[in-house]
């Protein structure tokens, strides 16, 4: 199947830049999809051959062919604008005529349920068998504005496109159109819009390679309710990063309701949204949560192609906004670096009553000295720790706003650091010259400063994650234990983890009380006693854990009670030394079926379920990046030395998590390794695995 799909993907060029087009279902009815498409092609002065297939003798002076088999061999693209029942057969006939690509507008396929899914599967099979690059069904088509190819039934208008430009690809035609209109309102050039609909053959990820190669496109926006080939999507993200192009993603489905909506809209089966976020956030992709953010960030990265290397400096003339911006940046994780090297120089530009700091409030002094924005902005941009500058100005009058912007731009250095400009006041009047002035200078312009800060925050997180080192290849892993079951109980999981070099207690599995007593004698009291069975993932719920057993009598009593009350078959009881107290973490290495090996880490014990304070990230992330993920937990302060306690050995926890991820990657027979809790000791005392389970693929060799 993969080879057949590759044949389809090889024809995407014919879909995006066809030299010949057949309209199957051509009609003289002005509202018919085929007629609307023809009008668009004529409006764009499409220079290739157009073949009409329909019932009329001619349409607008163009002759009509009676059937698909009357088409010449090897037409680049067939746009199929007929009823659902006839679509699969039309695709089959196109394949027989050597058509290289096709677009199916019609709905009534997988988005409608089982019957529609069957019809879609038939049409997809015909396309794949013939190597046809099929867009749709249930889509609005595409428009290539660079080459003047409008393949949509919407009322499209040609426009001159300058480099650099933005491409939009998404499953929802309505959303793709709305995003395009929002970008055009900001005078941003659009190179291409692609609406993939139900994705019977081609998905959003299949178009990325072509868009990355396109010289006009610098930014690619993706709206996806499902990414059907995550591996290819991540590979394309790496290509985009190497090519200096930005890839932005808006992916709904965080909520259960959002997942249901996506399924009814495109027939998508939405996967694990948390795993998706973890994968894309560490793959050089800028992931946003709203359409507003998508448009804001798109303008920013298009106008400011060099990602910020450092924190944000904020220059304003409002003390109130100074406080608000500090709060916003702290909540959003946007660093506001202190002013150090430029402190004296700033002091020389400011009145004595203003302290040089970040955010910097120049006060109402700006009304008397409008050039103070530029003089101070120049110095802020020269501060080594500053990677970007936001200038946020209170409105005075349209004339003053224009004057302030002109004097500011005249003084700012061109050092490649992004500069954003915000003018308070929402939709209040501004000079008609202000917006073009800023945009011609390559400066994104916002009327809501919080949107500017959110956008630069996304860009900064992208800059930080794009260069994250990944862990080197694994040094190997122990073989799967003989007789391993679908769920390896604690004793077996710990034995395997210990063989892999991870810290586990010195425990013994006892199948009778005498063996337990002998084990405790070797280990030394006090000991813990824990029931062992693959069917007991939560031993304490059934009385399967006894702690702090101080002597033989206590051990014998606990053994008798445990074996007498637990009715399921046990492998035995695990005898371990009592571990000293430490902070508790939950660590899981899991093989996500769509996005691959993932690590999840959070507060351990019962807190992981009670608080859901966890971070998920790719399993091959380096130790330094894993430490940063641990530090991003809401409960991270508990590890940093809470109320006089010594700070926990987070470095050792990160090292263990990195090794766990490597073990998962090197062991395809493992589906998941769960450690809960992992005891993290203070200072440099390391970590200890207190409990562990391993889920396996028993079919693996």
The residues with which 193 forms a beta bridge, in sequence order, are 143, 168
Pairing between strand 311-316 and 445-446?
unpaired
Q: Is residue 623's pLDDT more than 70?
A: yes
* Residue 249 tokens, joined: 């993603």
Least confident segment among 141-155, 296-310, 603-617: 603-617
* CB 195 within 8 Å of CB 176: yes
CA–CA dist 108, 642 (Å, integer): 59
Give 679's contacts (C-beta < 8 A, 6+ positions apart). Answer: 579, 580, 581, 582, 583, 584, 687, 688, 689, 690
Domains of the chain: 1-140 (3.40.50.720), 159-303 (3.40.50.261), 308-467 (3.40.50.261), 506-577 (3.30.1490.20), 583-696 (3.30.470.20)
**DSSP code for 642:** G
**DSSP code for 648:** B
In tens, the pLDDT along 638-655 reads 898 877 778 999 999 999
Question: Which ranges constitute the DSSP H helices of 441-549?
Answer: 449-466, 490-499, 513-523
Residue 609 confidence (pLDDT) = 66
CA–CA dist 571, 558 (Å, integer): 17
SS3 555: helix
Q: Is residue 270's pLDDT more than 60?
A: no
Distances, alpha carbon 625 to alpha carbons 468, 473, 622, in Å? 7, 16, 5
Q: For all residues of the chain together, what is the average pLDDT?
A: 92
In tens, the pLDDT along 388-436 reads 999 999 888 899 889 999 999 999 988 899 999 999 988 899 999 999 9
Indicate the pTM of the whole model.
Answer: 0.90
Residue (of 624, 658, 387) closest to 502 by Cα position: 658
**DSSP code for 540:** G
Q: At what angle do helices 273-281 and 230-242 cross, to 10 degrees?
A: 20
Share of the chain above pLDDT 90, in %: 80
Q: At what angle do helices 623-631 and 650-666 cross, to 10 degrees?
A: 120
In tens, the pLDDT along 66-119 reads 999 999 999 999 999 999 999 999 999 999 999 999 999 999 999 999 999 999
Residue (of 167, 244, 176) closest to 208 by Cα position: 167
Residue 1 confidence (pLDDT) = 59
Pairing between strand 58-59 and 62-65?
antiparallel
Residue (of 84, 46, 52, 44) closest to 68 by Cα position: 52
Q: Is residue 258's pLDDT more than 80?
A: no
Q: Is residue 610's pLDDT more than 80?
A: no
Residue 471 confidence (pLDDT) = 76
> What is the distance, to the nearest Å, from the Cα of residue 608 to the centroid of all Cα atoms in its chain?
23
In tens, the pLDDT along 447-485 reads 999 999 999 999 999 988 876 777 776 668 998 888 788
CA–CA dist 169, 147 (Å, integer): 17
Residue (of 508, 546, 533, 493) closest to 674 by Cα position: 493
Average pLDDT over residues 125-138: 97
SS3 312: strand
Measured from the Cβ of residue 436, the count of other Cβ atoms closer than 10 Å reads 12
Burial class (CB in 10 A: 0-12, 13-18, 19+), 94: buried
Residue 701 confidence (pLDDT) = 39
Which H or E run contains 506? none
Residue 474 confidence (pLDDT) = 65
Residue 112 confidence (pLDDT) = 93
* Strands, E assignment, 362-466: 386-393, 419-423, 445-446
> What is the distance, to the nearest Å, from the Cα of residue 558 to the centroid of all Cα atoms in its chain?
50
CA–CA dist 75, 50 (Å, integer): 10
Average pLDDT over residues 533-560: 93
Burial class (CB in 10 A: 0-12, 13-18, 19+), 30: exposed
CA–CA dist 393, 424 (Å, integer): 6
Distances, alpha carbon 678 to alpha carbons 206, 317, 414, 488, 601, in Å? 42, 50, 50, 18, 10
CA–CA dist 286, 247 (Å, integer): 6
In tens, the pLDDT along 37-48 reads 999 999 999 999
In tens, the pLDDT along 232-249 reads 999 999 999 999 999 999
In tens, the pLDDT along 48-71 reads 999 999 988 999 889 999 999 999
Pairing between strand 217-223 and 165-170?
parallel
Q: At what angle do helices 449-466 and 319-332 cross, to 10 degrees?
A: 40
Q: Find the Cα–Cα–Cα–Cα dihedral 622, 624, 630, 632, rounded to 10°.
A: -110
Residue (of 522, 525, 538, 664) closest to 589 by Cα position: 664
Give 607's contacts (C-beta < 8 A, 6+ positions apart). Answer: 584, 586, 613, 635
Residue 484 confidence (pLDDT) = 81
CA–CA dist 264, 267 (Å, integer): 6
SS3 467: coil
């Amino acid at each position: 199947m993969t080879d057949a799909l590759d044949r389809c993907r090889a024809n995407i060029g014919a879909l995006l830049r066809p030299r010949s087009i057949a309209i199957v279902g051509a009609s003289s009815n002005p509202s018919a999809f085929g007629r609307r498409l023809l009008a668009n092609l004529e409006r764009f002065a499409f220079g290739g051959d157009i073949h009409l297939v329909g019932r009329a003798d001619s349409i607008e002076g163009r002759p009509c062919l009676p059937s698909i088999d009357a088409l010449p061999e090897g037409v680049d693209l067939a746009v199929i604008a007929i009823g659902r029942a006839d679509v699969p057969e039309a695709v089959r006939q196109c394949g027989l005529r050597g058509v290289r690509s096709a677009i199916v507008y019609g709905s009534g396929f997988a988005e409608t349920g089982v019957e529609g899914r069957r019809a879609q599967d038939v049409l997809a099979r015909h396309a794949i068998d013939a190597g046809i690059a099929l867009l749709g069904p249930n889509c609005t088509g595409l428009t290539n504005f660079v080459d003047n190819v409008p393949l949509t039934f919407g009322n499209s208008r040609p426009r001159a496109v300058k480099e650099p430009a933005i491409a939009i690809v998404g499953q929802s035609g309505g959303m793709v159109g709305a995003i395009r209109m929002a970008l055009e309102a900001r005078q941003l050039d659009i190179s291409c819009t692609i609406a993939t609909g139900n994705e019977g053959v081609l998905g959003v990820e299949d178009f990325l390679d072509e868009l990355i190669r396109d010289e006009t496109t610098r930014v690619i926006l993706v709206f996806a309710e499902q990414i059907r080939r995550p591996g290819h999507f991540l590979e394309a993200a790496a290509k985009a990063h190497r090519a200096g192009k930005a890839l932005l993603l808006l992916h709904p489905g965080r909520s259960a309701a959002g997942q249901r909506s996506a399924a009814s809209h495109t027939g998508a089966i939405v996967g694990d949204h948390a795993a998706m976020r973890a994968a894309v956030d560490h793959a050089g992709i800028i992931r946003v949560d709203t359409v507003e953010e998508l448009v804001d960030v798109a303008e920013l990265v298009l106008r400011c192609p060099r990602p910020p290397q450092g924190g944000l400096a904020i220059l304003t003339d409002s003390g109130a906004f100074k406080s608000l911006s500090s709060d916003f940046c702290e909540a959003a994780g946007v660093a506001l670096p202190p002013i150090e090297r430029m402190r004296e120089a700033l002091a020389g530009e400011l009145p004595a009553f203003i302290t040089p700091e970040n955010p910097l409030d120049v006060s109402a002094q700006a009304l008397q000295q409008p050039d103070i924005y530029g003089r101070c902005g120049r110095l802020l941009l020269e501060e080594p720790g500053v990677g970007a500058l936001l200038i946020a100005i209170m409105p005075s009058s349209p004339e003053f706003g224009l004057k302030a912007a002109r004097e500011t731009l005249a003084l700012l250095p061109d050092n490649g650091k992004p500069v954003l400009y915000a003018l308070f006041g929402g939709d209040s009047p501004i000079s008609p010259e202000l917006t073009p002035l800023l945009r011609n200078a390559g400066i994104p312009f916002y009327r809501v400063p919080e949107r500017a800060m959110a956008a630069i925050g996304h860009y900064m997180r992208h800059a930080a994650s794009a260069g994250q080192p990944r862990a080197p290849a694994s040094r190997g892993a122990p073989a799967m234990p003989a007789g391993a079951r679908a769920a390896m109980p604690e004793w077996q999981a710990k034995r395997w983890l210990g063989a892999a070099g991870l810290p586990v207690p010195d425990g013994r599995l006892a199948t009778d009380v005498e063996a337990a007593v002998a084990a405790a004698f070797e280990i030394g009291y006090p000991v813990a006693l824990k029931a062992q069975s693959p069917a007991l993932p939560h031993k304490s719920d059934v009385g399967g854990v006894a702690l702090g057993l101080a002597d033989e009598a206590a051990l014998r009593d606990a053994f008798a009670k445990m074996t007498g009350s637990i009715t399921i078959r046990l492998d035995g009881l695990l005898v371990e030394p009592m571990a000293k107290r430490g902070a508790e973490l939950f660590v899981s290495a899991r093989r996500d079926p769509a996005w691959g090996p993932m690590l999840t880490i959070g507060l351990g014990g019962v807190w992981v379920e009670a608080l859901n304070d966890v971070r998920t990230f790719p399993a091959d992330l380096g130790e330094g990046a894993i430490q940063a993920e641990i530090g991003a937990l809401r409960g991270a302060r508990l590890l940093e030395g809470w109320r006089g306690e010594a700070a926990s050995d987070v470095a050792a926890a990160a090292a263990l998590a990195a090794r766990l991820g490597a073990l998962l990657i090197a062991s395809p027979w493992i589906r998941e390794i769960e450690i809960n809790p992992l005891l993290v000791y203070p200072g440099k005392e390391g970590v200890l695995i207190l409990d562990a389970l391993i889920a396996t693929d028993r079919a693996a060799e």
